[in-house]
Amino acid sequence: MHRVLSGIAPSGNFTLGNFLGALRHWVSFQDGHDAFYCVVDLHALTSDIDPAAVRANTLDAALNLLAIGLDPERCTLFVQSHVPEHTRLTWLLECTATMGELRRMTQFKDKGQGQEAVRVGLFTYPCLMAADILLYDASAVPVGDDQRQHLELTREVAVRFNNRYGETFTVPEAAIAGTGARVMDLQHPERKMSKSVDSPLGTIGLLDSDEEITRKVRKAVTDTDGEMRYDRAAKPGLANLLDLLAAATDRSPNEVAAGYERYGDLKNDVAAALCDLLRPVRERRARLESDLPYVHAVLSRGAAQAHEVASATYARAADAIGLLPAPPAT
Ligand code: TYM
Protein backbone atom coordinates (compact mmCIF):
# COMPACT_ATOMS: atom_id res chain seq x y z
CA MET A 1 0.00 0.00 0.00
CA HIS A 2 1.38 3.43 -0.92
CA ARG A 3 2.36 5.63 1.96
CA VAL A 4 1.09 9.21 2.08
CA LEU A 5 2.23 11.96 4.42
CA SER A 6 1.23 15.56 4.83
CA GLY A 7 1.39 18.27 7.48
CA ILE A 8 -0.21 21.53 8.51
CA ALA A 9 1.26 24.23 10.72
CA PRO A 10 -0.78 25.26 13.78
CA SER A 11 -0.15 28.91 13.09
CA GLY A 12 -3.65 30.38 13.15
CA ASN A 13 -7.19 29.55 12.14
CA PHE A 14 -7.43 27.08 9.29
CA THR A 15 -8.80 28.59 6.09
CA LEU A 16 -10.88 27.54 3.14
CA GLY A 17 -7.55 27.50 1.23
CA ASN A 18 -6.16 24.84 3.55
CA PHE A 19 -9.35 22.84 3.16
CA LEU A 20 -9.68 22.96 -0.63
CA GLY A 21 -5.96 22.82 -1.39
CA ALA A 22 -5.00 20.05 0.98
CA LEU A 23 -7.24 18.84 3.79
CA ARG A 24 -10.15 17.44 1.77
CA HIS A 25 -7.61 15.39 -0.20
CA TRP A 26 -6.15 14.08 3.04
CA VAL A 27 -9.59 12.66 3.77
CA SER A 28 -9.75 10.90 0.37
CA PHE A 29 -6.23 9.51 0.71
CA GLN A 30 -7.28 7.59 3.82
CA ASP A 31 -8.86 5.06 1.49
CA GLY A 32 -6.43 2.69 -0.14
CA HIS A 33 -3.33 4.37 1.32
CA ASP A 34 -1.30 4.13 4.47
CA ALA A 35 -1.82 7.76 5.46
CA PHE A 36 0.19 9.75 8.04
CA TYR A 37 -0.93 13.29 8.93
CA CYS A 38 0.97 15.58 11.17
CA VAL A 39 0.34 18.81 13.06
CA VAL A 40 3.72 20.41 12.47
CA ASP A 41 4.08 22.37 15.72
CA LEU A 42 7.86 22.80 15.32
CA HIS A 43 7.22 24.70 12.11
CA ALA A 44 5.05 27.16 14.06
CA LEU A 45 8.12 28.19 16.08
CA THR A 46 9.75 29.94 13.12
CA SER A 47 7.81 33.19 13.62
CA ASP A 48 6.74 35.14 16.75
CA ILE A 49 6.13 32.69 19.55
CA ASP A 50 3.47 32.92 22.21
CA PRO A 51 3.84 29.61 24.09
CA ALA A 52 0.21 29.57 25.25
CA ALA A 53 -0.96 30.14 21.66
CA VAL A 54 1.33 27.39 20.31
CA ARG A 55 -0.18 24.93 22.79
CA ALA A 56 -3.77 26.03 22.14
CA ASN A 57 -3.33 26.09 18.34
CA THR A 58 -1.82 22.61 18.28
CA LEU A 59 -4.82 21.12 20.04
CA ASP A 60 -7.13 23.24 17.91
CA ALA A 61 -5.44 21.90 14.77
CA ALA A 62 -5.95 18.30 15.91
CA LEU A 63 -9.62 19.03 16.58
CA ASN A 64 -9.99 20.53 13.11
CA LEU A 65 -8.33 17.56 11.46
CA LEU A 66 -10.74 15.17 13.15
CA ALA A 67 -13.61 17.51 12.29
CA ILE A 68 -12.83 17.49 8.56
CA GLY A 69 -13.22 13.71 8.60
CA LEU A 70 -9.86 12.17 9.40
CA ASP A 71 -10.56 8.82 10.98
CA PRO A 72 -7.89 7.52 13.39
CA GLU A 73 -8.88 3.97 12.41
CA ARG A 74 -7.85 4.71 8.83
CA CYS A 75 -4.91 7.06 9.26
CA THR A 76 -2.22 8.00 11.73
CA LEU A 77 -2.71 11.49 13.17
CA PHE A 78 0.09 12.87 15.31
CA VAL A 79 1.96 15.94 16.53
CA GLN A 80 5.40 16.46 14.99
CA SER A 81 7.26 17.27 18.23
CA HIS A 82 6.05 14.00 19.78
CA VAL A 83 8.29 12.10 17.40
CA PRO A 84 11.90 13.17 18.10
CA GLU A 85 13.23 11.68 14.87
CA HIS A 86 11.87 14.71 12.97
CA THR A 87 14.52 16.98 14.49
CA ARG A 88 17.21 14.27 14.42
CA LEU A 89 16.78 13.64 10.70
CA THR A 90 16.61 17.39 10.04
CA TRP A 91 20.26 17.69 11.08
CA LEU A 92 21.33 15.00 8.64
CA LEU A 93 19.42 16.80 5.89
CA GLU A 94 20.86 20.20 6.85
CA CYS A 95 24.22 18.55 6.25
CA THR A 96 23.00 17.48 2.80
CA ALA A 97 21.18 20.59 1.49
CA THR A 98 23.09 23.75 0.58
CA MET A 99 22.72 27.39 1.60
CA GLY A 100 22.10 28.28 -2.05
CA GLU A 101 19.16 25.87 -2.26
CA LEU A 102 17.56 27.23 0.91
CA ARG A 103 18.13 30.84 -0.13
CA ARG A 104 16.11 30.23 -3.28
CA MET A 105 12.96 29.21 -1.36
CA THR A 106 10.29 31.80 -2.11
CA GLN A 107 8.51 31.19 1.21
CA PHE A 108 11.71 32.18 3.06
CA LYS A 109 12.08 35.27 0.91
CA ASP A 110 8.44 36.26 1.47
CA LYS A 111 8.28 35.60 5.20
CA GLY A 112 11.77 36.90 5.96
CA GLN A 113 11.27 40.11 4.00
CA GLY A 114 11.33 43.25 6.13
CA GLN A 115 12.12 41.32 9.32
CA GLU A 116 15.13 42.61 11.20
CA ALA A 117 16.12 39.40 12.92
CA VAL A 118 15.16 36.41 10.80
CA ARG A 119 15.29 33.21 12.79
CA VAL A 120 17.68 30.47 11.64
CA GLY A 121 14.71 28.09 11.86
CA LEU A 122 12.84 30.04 9.18
CA PHE A 123 15.80 29.52 6.88
CA THR A 124 16.23 25.80 7.58
CA TYR A 125 12.46 25.13 7.68
CA PRO A 126 12.51 23.22 4.35
CA CYS A 127 14.95 20.67 5.81
CA LEU A 128 12.54 20.00 8.67
CA MET A 129 9.75 19.61 6.15
CA ALA A 130 11.88 17.23 4.09
CA ALA A 131 12.53 15.20 7.25
CA ASP A 132 8.77 15.05 7.95
CA ILE A 133 8.23 13.47 4.57
CA LEU A 134 11.28 11.25 4.18
CA LEU A 135 10.93 9.65 7.62
CA TYR A 136 7.73 7.96 6.47
CA ASP A 137 8.90 6.73 3.06
CA ALA A 138 5.97 8.68 1.65
CA SER A 139 5.50 8.30 -2.10
CA ALA A 140 2.76 10.98 -2.32
CA VAL A 141 2.40 14.26 -0.44
CA PRO A 142 -1.00 15.96 -0.81
CA VAL A 143 -0.40 19.73 -0.62
CA GLY A 144 -1.55 22.98 -2.16
CA ASP A 145 0.32 24.65 -4.98
CA ASP A 146 2.38 26.90 -2.65
CA GLN A 147 4.32 23.87 -1.37
CA ARG A 148 5.55 22.81 -4.80
CA GLN A 149 9.03 24.29 -4.34
CA HIS A 150 9.48 22.68 -0.92
CA LEU A 151 8.57 19.32 -2.41
CA GLU A 152 11.08 19.80 -5.19
CA LEU A 153 13.79 20.50 -2.62
CA THR A 154 12.77 17.41 -0.64
CA ARG A 155 13.17 15.31 -3.77
CA GLU A 156 16.58 16.78 -4.56
CA VAL A 157 17.87 16.23 -1.05
CA ALA A 158 16.55 12.65 -1.02
CA VAL A 159 18.18 11.83 -4.33
CA ARG A 160 21.49 13.40 -3.26
CA PHE A 161 21.51 11.50 0.03
CA ASN A 162 20.71 8.24 -1.75
CA ASN A 163 23.46 8.81 -4.33
CA ARG A 164 26.08 9.69 -1.73
CA TYR A 165 25.33 7.26 1.06
CA GLY A 166 23.33 4.47 -0.55
CA GLU A 167 19.63 3.91 -1.19
CA THR A 168 17.92 5.19 1.98
CA PHE A 169 14.86 7.31 1.20
CA THR A 170 11.80 6.95 -1.00
CA VAL A 171 11.73 9.94 -3.38
CA PRO A 172 8.26 11.49 -2.94
CA GLU A 173 5.91 13.13 -5.45
CA ALA A 174 3.74 16.15 -4.70
CA ALA A 175 0.04 15.35 -5.09
CA ILE A 176 -1.43 18.71 -6.11
CA ALA A 177 -5.06 18.81 -7.16
CA GLY A 178 -6.24 20.78 -10.17
CA THR A 179 -8.94 23.05 -8.81
CA GLY A 180 -8.64 24.54 -5.34
CA ALA A 181 -4.84 24.14 -5.25
CA ARG A 182 -4.44 27.92 -5.05
CA VAL A 183 -7.29 29.69 -3.29
CA MET A 184 -6.79 33.45 -3.36
CA ASP A 185 -7.74 36.13 -0.83
CA LEU A 186 -11.25 37.42 -1.57
CA GLN A 187 -10.20 41.06 -1.10
CA HIS A 188 -6.74 40.80 -2.64
CA PRO A 189 -7.08 38.12 -5.31
CA GLU A 190 -3.48 38.57 -6.39
CA ARG A 191 -2.27 36.89 -3.16
CA LYS A 192 -3.16 33.53 -1.65
CA MET A 193 -5.64 33.14 1.17
CA SER A 194 -3.52 32.51 4.24
CA LYS A 195 -4.02 31.71 7.90
CA SER A 196 -1.01 33.83 8.84
CA VAL A 197 -2.12 37.02 7.05
CA ASP A 198 -4.61 39.37 8.69
CA SER A 199 -7.34 39.86 6.09
CA PRO A 200 -10.63 39.31 7.90
CA LEU A 201 -12.91 39.96 4.92
CA GLY A 202 -10.63 38.23 2.44
CA THR A 203 -10.23 35.00 4.39
CA ILE A 204 -12.89 32.36 4.91
CA GLY A 205 -12.19 30.39 8.06
CA LEU A 206 -12.81 26.65 8.22
CA LEU A 207 -15.25 27.29 11.06
CA ASP A 208 -16.95 30.44 9.76
CA SER A 209 -20.75 30.51 10.12
CA ASP A 210 -23.05 30.45 7.08
CA GLU A 211 -23.65 34.18 7.62
CA GLU A 212 -19.94 35.01 7.68
CA ILE A 213 -19.24 32.93 4.59
CA THR A 214 -22.10 34.56 2.69
CA ARG A 215 -21.10 38.08 3.71
CA LYS A 216 -17.48 37.58 2.65
CA VAL A 217 -18.38 36.03 -0.71
CA ARG A 218 -20.88 38.83 -1.44
CA LYS A 219 -18.18 41.42 -0.70
CA ALA A 220 -15.51 39.64 -2.73
CA VAL A 221 -13.64 41.90 -5.13
CA THR A 222 -14.40 41.31 -8.84
CA ASP A 223 -14.09 43.75 -11.74
CA THR A 224 -16.21 46.28 -13.53
CA ASP A 225 -16.47 44.94 -17.09
CA GLY A 226 -19.14 42.43 -16.07
CA GLU A 227 -17.90 39.86 -18.56
CA MET A 228 -18.29 36.27 -17.35
CA ARG A 229 -15.14 34.37 -18.34
CA TYR A 230 -12.31 32.54 -16.60
CA ASP A 231 -9.12 34.56 -16.88
CA ARG A 232 -6.80 34.42 -13.89
CA ALA A 233 -4.44 37.12 -15.13
CA ALA A 234 -6.96 39.71 -16.31
CA LYS A 235 -9.86 38.91 -13.94
CA PRO A 236 -8.30 37.40 -10.78
CA GLY A 237 -11.24 38.09 -8.46
CA LEU A 238 -13.81 36.50 -10.73
CA ALA A 239 -11.45 33.60 -11.55
CA ASN A 240 -11.09 32.89 -7.83
CA LEU A 241 -14.87 32.70 -7.40
CA LEU A 242 -15.16 30.40 -10.41
CA ASP A 243 -12.35 28.24 -9.00
CA LEU A 244 -14.11 28.03 -5.64
CA LEU A 245 -17.39 26.87 -7.14
CA ALA A 246 -15.54 24.50 -9.46
CA ALA A 247 -13.65 22.95 -6.54
CA ALA A 248 -16.77 22.72 -4.37
CA THR A 249 -18.85 21.07 -7.10
CA ASP A 250 -16.16 19.06 -8.88
CA ARG A 251 -16.31 20.86 -12.22
CA SER A 252 -13.89 22.93 -14.28
CA PRO A 253 -13.96 26.74 -13.87
CA ASN A 254 -14.81 27.20 -17.55
CA GLU A 255 -17.78 24.87 -17.16
CA VAL A 256 -18.94 26.89 -14.17
CA ALA A 257 -18.53 30.20 -16.04
CA ALA A 258 -20.73 28.92 -18.86
CA GLY A 259 -23.67 28.64 -16.45
CA TYR A 260 -23.82 32.32 -15.42
CA GLU A 261 -24.35 35.78 -16.81
CA ARG A 262 -24.35 37.91 -13.68
CA TYR A 263 -21.69 38.11 -10.98
CA GLY A 264 -24.36 38.39 -8.30
CA ASP A 265 -25.92 35.04 -9.25
CA LEU A 266 -22.51 33.39 -9.27
CA LYS A 267 -21.70 34.82 -5.83
CA ASN A 268 -24.99 33.48 -4.40
CA ASP A 269 -24.17 29.97 -5.62
CA VAL A 270 -20.55 30.16 -4.45
CA ALA A 271 -21.74 31.15 -0.98
CA ALA A 272 -24.36 28.38 -0.87
CA ALA A 273 -21.89 25.72 -2.04
CA LEU A 274 -19.25 26.77 0.50
CA CYS A 275 -21.80 26.79 3.32
CA ASP A 276 -22.84 23.24 2.39
CA LEU A 277 -19.21 22.15 2.27
CA LEU A 278 -18.15 23.57 5.62
CA ARG A 279 -21.31 23.07 7.71
CA PRO A 280 -20.64 19.38 8.48
CA VAL A 281 -17.08 20.24 9.57
CA ARG A 282 -18.41 22.78 12.06
CA GLU A 283 -20.97 20.32 13.39
CA ARG A 284 -18.40 17.55 13.90
CA ARG A 285 -16.05 20.00 15.54
CA ALA A 286 -18.71 21.05 18.08
CA ARG A 287 -19.22 17.39 19.05
CA LEU A 288 -15.48 16.77 19.42
CA GLU A 289 -14.97 19.78 21.67
CA SER A 290 -16.90 18.03 24.39
CA ASP A 291 -14.57 15.01 24.24
CA LEU A 292 -11.02 16.30 24.58
CA PRO A 293 -9.76 13.10 26.29
CA TYR A 294 -10.61 11.30 23.04
CA VAL A 295 -8.53 13.79 21.04
CA HIS A 296 -5.55 13.37 23.37
CA ALA A 297 -5.89 9.57 23.13
CA VAL A 298 -5.85 9.76 19.32
CA LEU A 299 -2.67 11.87 19.40
CA SER A 300 -1.00 9.55 21.85
CA ARG A 301 -1.72 6.48 19.73
CA GLY A 302 -0.69 8.40 16.60
CA ALA A 303 2.66 9.34 18.16
CA ALA A 304 3.41 5.69 18.97
CA GLN A 305 2.51 4.52 15.45
CA ALA A 306 4.49 7.33 13.82
CA HIS A 307 7.48 6.71 16.06
CA GLU A 308 7.64 3.09 15.02
CA VAL A 309 8.02 4.00 11.34
CA ALA A 310 10.18 7.11 11.90
CA SER A 311 12.69 5.43 14.18
CA ALA A 312 13.37 2.68 11.64
CA THR A 313 13.98 5.22 8.85
CA TYR A 314 16.14 7.39 11.05
CA ALA A 315 18.28 4.40 12.07
CA ARG A 316 18.73 3.55 8.38
CA ALA A 317 19.78 7.11 7.52
CA ALA A 318 22.11 7.44 10.52
CA ASP A 319 23.80 4.18 9.62
CA ALA A 320 24.12 5.18 5.96
CA ILE A 321 25.81 8.47 6.83
CA GLY A 322 28.27 6.74 9.17
CA LEU A 323 26.95 7.27 12.70
CA LEU A 324 27.65 4.41 15.12
CA PRO A 325 24.49 2.65 16.27
CA ALA A 326 23.38 3.99 19.66
CA PRO A 327 24.07 1.54 22.49
CA PRO A 328 20.89 -0.07 23.85
CA ALA A 329 19.24 2.02 26.56
CA THR A 330 20.02 0.76 30.04
P1 TYM B 1 0.49 25.30 5.68
O2 TYM B 1 0.29 25.00 7.13
O3 TYM B 1 0.75 26.71 5.30
O4 TYM B 1 -0.76 24.82 4.85
C5 TYM B 1 -1.29 23.51 4.96
C6 TYM B 1 -1.74 23.04 3.60
O7 TYM B 1 -2.71 23.94 3.05
C8 TYM B 1 -2.32 24.32 1.74
N9 TYM B 1 -2.75 25.71 1.51
C10 TYM B 1 -3.46 26.12 0.44
N11 TYM B 1 -3.95 25.46 -0.62
C12 TYM B 1 -4.66 26.18 -1.54
N13 TYM B 1 -4.87 27.50 -1.43
C14 TYM B 1 -4.41 28.21 -0.38
N15 TYM B 1 -4.65 29.51 -0.28
C16 TYM B 1 -3.65 27.52 0.62
N17 TYM B 1 -3.06 27.91 1.77
C18 TYM B 1 -2.50 26.78 2.29
C19 TYM B 1 -0.80 24.21 1.74
O20 TYM B 1 -0.29 24.07 0.44
C21 TYM B 1 -0.58 22.99 2.59
O22 TYM B 1 -0.68 21.82 1.83
N23 TYM B 1 5.19 23.80 5.01
C24 TYM B 1 3.82 23.36 5.12
C25 TYM B 1 3.55 22.41 6.24
C26 TYM B 1 4.39 21.17 6.26
C27 TYM B 1 4.23 20.05 5.40
C28 TYM B 1 5.21 19.11 5.85
C29 TYM B 1 3.38 19.76 4.34
C30 TYM B 1 5.38 20.89 7.13
N31 TYM B 1 5.88 19.63 6.89
C32 TYM B 1 5.31 17.87 5.22
C33 TYM B 1 3.51 18.53 3.72
C34 TYM B 1 4.48 17.59 4.15
C35 TYM B 1 2.94 24.58 5.36
O36 TYM B 1 3.37 25.58 5.87
O37 TYM B 1 1.63 24.37 5.08
| Predicted confidence (pLDDT) per residue in 65-99, tens digit | 999 999 999 999 999 999 999 999 999 999 999 99
- Please give the pLDDT value at position 117: 86
- Please give the pLDDT value at position 244: 98
Ligand 1 neighbourhood includes 266 CB (under 6 angstroms):
no
Question: CA angle, corner 303, sides to 16 and 21, nearest 5?
Answer: 15
Cα-to-chain-centroid distance, residue 210: 24
Ligand 1 neighbourhood includes 17 CB (under 6 angstroms):
yes
**DSSP state, 323?**
P
Residue 330 has pLDDT above 70, yes or no: no
Confidence of residue 165 (pLDDT cuts 50, 70, 90): very high
- Provide the residue ranges of all domains of the chain, joining segments of one domain with +: 2-177+292-321, 210-287
Helices (H), the chain: 16-18, 24-29, 51-67, 85-94, 99-103, 106-112, 120-134, 148-165, 210-218, 236-249, 253-258, 263-289, 292-321
- CA 19 to ligand 1 centroid distance, Å: 10
Determine the residue of 81, 146, 194 to mutate for testing ligand 1's pocket, defined as the one with the most ligand atoms within 8 A of the Cβ atom.
146
Percentage of the chain exceeding pLDDT 90: 90
Q: Is 215 left (phi over 0), alpha (psi -120 to 50) or beta?
A: alpha
Ligand 1 neighbourhood includes 186 CB (under 6 angstroms):
no
| Predicted confidence (pLDDT) per residue in 238-292, tens digit | 999 999 999 999 999 999 999 999 999 999 999 999 999 999 999 999 999 999 9
- Find out if CATH 1.10.240.10 is the number for domain 210-287: yes
Distance CA 193, CA 14 (A): 10
Average of per-residue pLDDT across 212-221: 98
Q: What pTM value is reported for the model? A: 0.96
Q: Give the fold, CATH level 3, of 2-177+292-321.
A: Rossmann fold (3.40.50)
